[in-house]
């Protein structure tokens, strides 16, 4: 059962998983409202509010995307209004003023993504900003009715855990929750009752799982992400106020978003397609020219958005590691194509010279230390080799020598990518050992990467900093093996590899 859930999470894109989660909460609320479990939920009003918010958001997004000539994410058009459905008071079909207010809120949310944006990336969480604005200007405040109800709590919590696992942002959620607990303990008259109430009857879980973890409005680096969690956690405290202005979930998040932008500004880029070349069996490299200089560190990744992907279950956005070096003139993307590629990859395969793709959310801490004397060990599975190709290309471009050993696992020799890059990097201290699971070949190990192979190829493994990149199952297995060899978890870095595409 757990394995099936993990496979589902790995094969589902982040945005699609969030969309499923919000739909599940909406359906559960409808059922509980219709059966009297949640007597304050009127199913017809909830349905009408959903129709109004989703339709208004879709129309507004279509207009602003056209006006700003922007590539948009298919799922976000529905995610934002669904969040609004779950946190705003529902209105009945006969409530004309309430309906107009919902339209205004939906339009505000979508407009903020385009108007309140710097470098083609929005600064504020659209739903949070819209409800904060509606409170100030319309006197309509978010009730956050979906949260704090015991019948819905299991759905909120279990689905939220899947979201956090997919995003790998448990550190952010935990530090936010811990900060809020401490703040409530210090500001409450009776902490013994206030702290349990915080978990059972407030927006804590829904807010942290859905709103706080939005990738586009949080800092990229882990230390800054921790600071962000602490900052928002303090502001989230219900008793906090300045004169007449009391804190609210939406105000705490909007303020936190501003903090995140100041410490970790993000930009969007438009890349034009230049060339596609074959790297190995089923693996291709796409080369793009950026509309302005893209500054990154080898090993970091981007969120890639195609604007013309046919509707499917996976959406039009993917996270991919950059395969080129920062010094290269063109931005490289290494992609593996499976027997039945997704609509995203079919669209990618059909690109012609000059076609554009939008990229943003540069992030990742899967980067080598500045100290070039530090001994490194890399373990790659399949297309997970791309961050190491970027690192090797950086070494070649700069002439930077490193004591680095790469163990690269594939099924067959025909699937080995970037072989020529690692051959050139060998002149700068790199050494590569190939492992083939499905065939025997000269100069390669047959089988799988195990502890004995690590000991053989990396005799001084206890002195090295390990980097592991590949499919999630492989990464987890390698990390467990390295820990069993006595390697400190602080000397093991794993790549964010968000699943098969």
Tens digits of residue pLDDT in 160-192: 999 998 888 899 999 999 999 999 998 888 888
pLDDT score recorded for residue 168? 83
> In the predicted model, is pLDDT for residue 277 greater than 80?
yes
Calculate the average pLDDT of the chain.
91
| DSSP structure class, residue 383 | G
Tens digits of residue pLDDT in 69-95: 887 777 889 999 999 999 999 999 999
pLDDT band at 241 (very low <50, low <70, confident <90, very high): low
Tens digits of residue pLDDT in 453-465: 999 999 999 999 9
**pTM score of the predicted model:** 0.82
Domain 376-494 has CATH 3.40.50.80: yes
Where exactly are the structural domains of the chain? 2-263, 269-363, 376-494
List, as own/partner pairs, every contact residues 139-143 make where C-beta atoms lie below 8 angstroms and the sequence separation is at least 24, other chains included: 140/88, 140/89, 140/101, 140/105, 141/248, 142/87, 142/88, 142/248, 142/249, 142/250, 143/87, 143/88, 143/89
pLDDT band at 242 (very low <50, low <70, confident <90, very high): low
Question: What element of type H or E holds 478?
Answer: helix 472-484
Domain 269-363 has CATH 2.40.30.10: yes
> In the predicted model, is pLDDT for residue 377 greater than 80?
yes
Percent of the chain predicted with pLDDT > 90: 71
CB atoms within 10 A of CB 7: 14
HSE, side-chain direction, 13 A CA sphere, residue 345:
19
Tens digits of residue pLDDT in 198-230: 888 889 999 999 999 988 888 888 899 999 999
> In the predicted model, is pLDDT for residue 331 greater than 90?
yes
> What's the rounded Cα separation, in Å, for the pair 229 and 223?
10
Per DSSP, the three-state class of 358 is strand
pLDDT score recorded for residue 466? 98
pLDDT score recorded for residue 245? 62
> In the predicted model, is pLDDT for residue 40 greater than 80?
yes
> In the predicted model, is pLDDT for residue 501 greater than 50?
no
Percent of the chain predicted with pLDDT > 70: 96
HSE, side-chain direction, 13 A CA sphere, residue 188:
17
pLDDT score recorded for residue 284? 95
Please say whether the beta carbons of 322 and 331 come within 8 A.
yes
pLDDT score recorded for residue 308? 74
> In the predicted model, is pLDDT for residue 499 greater than 50?
no
Question: What element of type H or E holds 456?
Answer: helix 451-457
């Amino acid at each position: 059962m757990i394995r099936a859930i993990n496979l589902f999470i790995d094969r589902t894109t982040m945005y699609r998983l969030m969309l499923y989660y919000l739909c599940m909460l909406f359906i559960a609320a409808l059922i509980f409202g219709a059966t009297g479990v949640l007597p304050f939920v009127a199913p017809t009003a909830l349905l009408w509010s959903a129709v109004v918010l989703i339709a208004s958001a879709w129309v507004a997004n279509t207009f602003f995307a056209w006006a700003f000539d922007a590539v948009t994410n298919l799922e976000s058009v529905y995610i934002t209004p669904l969040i609004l459905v779950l946190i705003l008071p529902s209105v009945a079909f006969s409530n004309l003023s309430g309906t107009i207010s919902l339209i205004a809120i939906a339009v505000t949310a979508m407009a903020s993504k385009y108007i309140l944006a710097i470098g083609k990336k929005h600064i504020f969480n659209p739903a949070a900003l819209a409800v904060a604005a509606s409170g100030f200007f319309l006197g309509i405040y978010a009730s956050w009715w979906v949260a704090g109800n015991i019948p819905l709590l299991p759905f909120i919590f279990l689905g939220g855990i899947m979201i956090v696992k997919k995003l790998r942002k448990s550190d952010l959620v935990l530090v936010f929750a811990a900060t809020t607990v401490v703040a409530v303990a210090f500001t409450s008259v009776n902490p013994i009752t206030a702290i349990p109430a915080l978990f059972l009857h407030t927006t804590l879980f829904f807010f942290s799982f859905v709103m706080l973890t939005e990738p586009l409005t949080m800092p990229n680096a882990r230390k800054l992400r921790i600071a962000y969690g602490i900052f928002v956690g303090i502001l989230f405290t219900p008793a906090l106020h300045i004169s007449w202005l009391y804190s609210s979930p939406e105000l705490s998040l909007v303020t936190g978003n501003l903090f995140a932008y100041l410490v970790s500004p993000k930009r969007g880029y438009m890349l034009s397609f230049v060339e596609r070349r074959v790297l190995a069996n089923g693996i291709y490299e796409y080369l793009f020219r950026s509309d302005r200089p893209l500054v990154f560190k080898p090993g970091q990744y981007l969120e890639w958005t195609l604007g013309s992907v046919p509707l499917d279950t996976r959406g039009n956005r993917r996270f991919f590691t950059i395969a080129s070096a920062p010094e290269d003139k063109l931005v490289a993307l290494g992609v593996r194509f499976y027997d039945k590629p997704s609509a995203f990859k079919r669209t990618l395969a059909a690109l012609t010279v000059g076609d554009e793709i939008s990229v943003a959310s540069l992030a990742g801490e899967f980067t080598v230390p500045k100290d070039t004397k530090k001994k490194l060990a890399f373990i790659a599975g399949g297309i997970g080799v791309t961050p190491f190709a970027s690192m090797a290309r950086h070494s070649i471009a700069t002439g930077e020598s490193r004591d680095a050993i790469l163990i690269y696992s594939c099924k067959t020799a025909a699937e080995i990518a970037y072989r020529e890059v690692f051959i050139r990097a060998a002149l700068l201290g790199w050494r590569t050992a190939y492992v083939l699971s499905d065939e025997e070949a000269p100069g390669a190990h047959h089988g799988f990467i195990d502890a004995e192979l690590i000991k053989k190829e990396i005799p001084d493994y206890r002195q090295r900093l390990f980097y592991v990149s590949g499919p999630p199952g492989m990464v987890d297995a390698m990390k467990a093996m390295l820990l069993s060899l006595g390697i400190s978890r602080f000397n093991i870095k794993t790549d964010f590899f968000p699943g098969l595409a």
